Amino acid sequence: MPTARPAWEDPLFFRSRDVGETRTFFDPFGLRFDPIGSDRTLDARFDGQPLSGIYLSFVQFGAAAMLRANWETGYAIKIPLRDGFEAVSRHGVVSCALSEAAVLSPTTEIATRSEPEATRLSIGLDRDIVVQHLAALLGTAPDAPLEFATALSLKEGNGRSLRRFARLAVAELKRLDTILRDPMTAQAFREFLMAALLLRHPHNYSEQLRRLERPLTPRDIKRAIDYIEANLGGAIGLPEIAAAAGVPGRTLLQHFREFKGTSPMRYLRTARYERVREALRRAEPEESVTEIAGRWGFGHLGRFSVEYRRRFGEPPSQTLRRRKTMVAVSDCPTANAPSYAGARNHT
């Protein structure tokens, strides 16, 4: 059977056929590597990319192998790309074939047993950021460690969406001009992952989130909107917005949709585009599209321009050019002069 192609093209961050070298590589991550059976087919491959509180990584060993870990620093979603592996925890064994992934929590020791040609993608999430997001949804700090159910079905719904978005993110990260390098886009991707896990995947706070029924008044929505409008140029997310509104994030999400027909983060993105359009219409002659877009948090000009045109029916350069034309005409000495030619025609 041919070896699966790695998720990232060569050169990989790490590749080795030596057991000792592979153990040394994984040890600083709190991972103990051991081949299972013969190690003659070992071909350890690893690559990864950090992304604003997220770490996307790819691993393949060639040989059957075991990784033992105590996940003290973060949560992880392990998605099989080829063949399978088993995730072993105190809750039992989860067989992760192509139809099932594993969600690992830092509250329990985990071991993964990989089949010889198994290839998997891992999404690592910073523990403090996940807990902060949970606290925003609850409206209070959690009083016990957050622990997710280990098994995640990839056949439908939440799991299928996570796998699709993770693979798209990997493909995007190969590109030098990817929008995922933009801090606000990376944060939006992180917010999506947090919501997918905390609101759609079972954990020990799921029932508490479902019971939240505190009513949200228009005044609370106004506080959220006022905060968004005052911080359009900053890297804000749901935790900050919920704190400003004074309500749990879960409630904010539900009732924001009821009153505004959208989510807080979509409202934020729309407001940023509206503010950019207003700024382009009032631009000074020396200002550029890049400068104005950057002022409101858009760092990837190409993607920004595509979305701007989709929203407003013209590229941002055209909006700015129309403004500069108006300024030039108003500054022309003859623009507002009386028409003497017309006067002569009536004498």
Q: What is the pLDDT of residue 55?
A: 87
Asked if residue 130 belongs to a domain, the reply is yes
Q: Is residue 85 a contact partner of residue 100, using CB atoms and an 8 Å limit?
A: no
Q: What is the pLDDT of residue 335?
A: 44
Asked if residue 303 belongs to a domain, the reply is no
Asked if residue 284 belongs to a domain, the reply is no
Asked if residue 52 belongs to a domain, the reply is yes
Q: What is the pLDDT of residue 334?
A: 46
- Centre a 10 Å sphere on the Cβ of residue 117 and count the other Cβ atoms it contains: 19
Q: What is the pLDDT of residue 7?
A: 46
Give the mean pLDDT per block of 10 residues along the chain (347 residues).
Answer: 45 87 90 84 87 86 86 82 85 83 84 89 90 90 91 88 86 80 83 89 92 67 93 90 91 86 91 92 88 87 90 90 66 45 33
Asked if residue 105 belongs to a domain, the reply is yes
Asked if residue 70 belongs to a domain, the reply is yes
Residue (of 153, 152, 131) closest to 142 by Cα position? 131
Asked if residue 332 belongs to a domain, the reply is no
Q: What is the pLDDT of residue 214?
A: 53
Which residue is associated with the tokens 């790819």? 58
Secondary structure letter of residue 203 according to DSSP: B
Q: Is residue 185 a contact partner of residue 179, using CB atoms and an 8 Å limit?
A: yes
Asked if residue 85 belongs to a domain, the reply is yes
Residue 134's domain is classified under what CATH number?
2.60.120.10
Q: Which long-range contacts (CB under 8 A, 24 or more apart) does 134-137 make?
A: 134/198, 134/205, 135/239, 136/238, 136/239, 136/242, 136/243, 136/248, 136/249, 137/198, 137/199, 137/209, 137/238, 137/242, 137/248, 137/249, 137/250
Q: Which two tokens stand for residue 341?
A: 């030619």
Structural domain boundaries, residue 104: 14-142+150-157
Angle ∠(276,224,262) on CA atoms, nearest 5: 70
Q: What is the pLDDT of residue 146?
A: 93
* Side-chain-side CA neighbours of residue 96 (13 Å): 30
β-sheet bridge partners, residue 94: 87
Q: What is the pLDDT of residue 285?
A: 83
What is the DSSP pairing of strand 74-82 with strand 85-89? Answer: unpaired
Q: Is residue 86 a contact partner of residue 96, using CB atoms and an 8 Å limit?
A: yes
Give the number of domains in the chain.
1
Q: What is the pLDDT of residue 264?
A: 92
* Backbone CA torsion sign across 227, 232, 234, 240: positive
